[in-house]
Amino acid sequence: PDTLLDIRGLKTWFKTEDGMVRAVDGVDLHIDRGETVGVVGESGCGKTVTARSVLKLIDMPPGRFEAGQILWQGRDLIPLEQAEMNRIRAREIAIIFQEPMTSLNPVYTVGDQIAEVIALHQKLSPRQAMAGAAEMLRLVNIPNPQKRVHDYPHQFSGGMRQRVMIAMALSCQPKLLIADEPTTALDVTIQAQILELMQEMKEKFGMAIMLITHAMGVVAETCQRVTVMYAGKVVEEAPVEALFSDPRHPYTQGLIRSIPRIDRAVSRQARLESIQGTVPSLLNPPAGCRFAARCKYAMDICTQGIPPLKEVAPGHRVACVL
């Protein structure tokens, strides 16, 4: 397969007054051209820090890359200068967040903001770029695009703002779209529409998606492959069908059990709190398996060393002594 992104042994740590927080602690993750990969886990598992590391959107200090590589089409992004990173952010990898207002500028119209991205790519007059912006709004199903390009972000509802964000992200025709909890802040029906829109856009533009989420229902509906993270590490990685039909890691099994069965729409909202216990501190993580304190199968051997990821079936890897 044609690998776009290949994260190897990434460690992104944060220096705090209390010591070093190992937010991402040896993560391997890859994304092939055109596929949707879900990255799931509870808040604090390191999924967002992993995503932000790819674009180097980490404040340094206090953050730092302790080890590893982030290979983008074979080239390591970690040593790149800011100017080169800006080029990649503008043209190759786009990101959308849970709250679009964090990336939209409230004092410019959405048309101006999208036109600016478009103008970066093509030599167009301001008028042509604005027409392109309206076209992007039409693509993401915003009614009255010709008129709405002149509106400001606050004049859009939450769901419409997320559409604007997607339009802006796609204006640079990225090869990879990183979506960090893109639907969490939205109500259930709007969530479904946004996920559907992302799927449509993916088919239209042929980009890959890295979908960060805590909702297993979203993963089941949209992803081809899934990486499950726990306490700064990858505990399981598998094609989506295998993950749901044959989850191997006790943590993944717990996540899947926590999906309410009644209604898939509800499952999108289900939080992953039904697993007993809490995530260990990443300040002084336990020596062995980080899930041991919550695992009903935990044995002495589990606390002695960190279980490495092992392949149990093609493309299916698990970090558990069982």
Contacts with ligand SF4 by CB under 6 A lie at 249-250, 289, 291-292, 295, 297-298, 302, 307, 320-322
3-state SS of 188-227 is: HHHHHHHHHHHHHHHHHHCCEEEEEECCHHHHHHHCCEEE
Give the separation between CA 288 and CA 270, rounded to whole angstroms. Answer: 29
Of 163 and 290, which has the nearer Cβ to ligand SF4?
290
Of 23 and 275, which has the nearer Cβ to ligand SF4?
275
Whether the CB-CB separation of 216 and 270 falls below 8 Å is answered with yes
Residue 249: CB minimum distance to ligand SF4, A = 6
Residue 285: CB minimum distance to ligand SF4, A = 13
Give the containing element (helix H, strand E) for 263: none
Of 128 and 303, which has the nearer Cβ to ligand SF4?
303
Contacts of 44 (CB under 8 A, 6+ apart): 231, 279, 282
Whether the CB-CB separation of 31 and 218 falls below 8 Å is answered with no
Of 174 and 250, which has the nearer Cβ to ligand SF4?
250
Of 20 and 321, which has the nearer Cβ to ligand SF4?
321
Of 111 and 250, which has the nearer Cβ to ligand SF4?
250
Please work out, in degrees rounded to the nearest 5, the angle formed at the alpha carbon of residue 28 by the alpha carbons of 22 and 33. 135
Residue 254: CB minimum distance to ligand SF4, A = 10
Residue 280: CB minimum distance to ligand SF4, A = 12
Residue 307: CB minimum distance to ligand SF4, A = 5
Residue 51: CB minimum distance to ligand SF4, A = 24
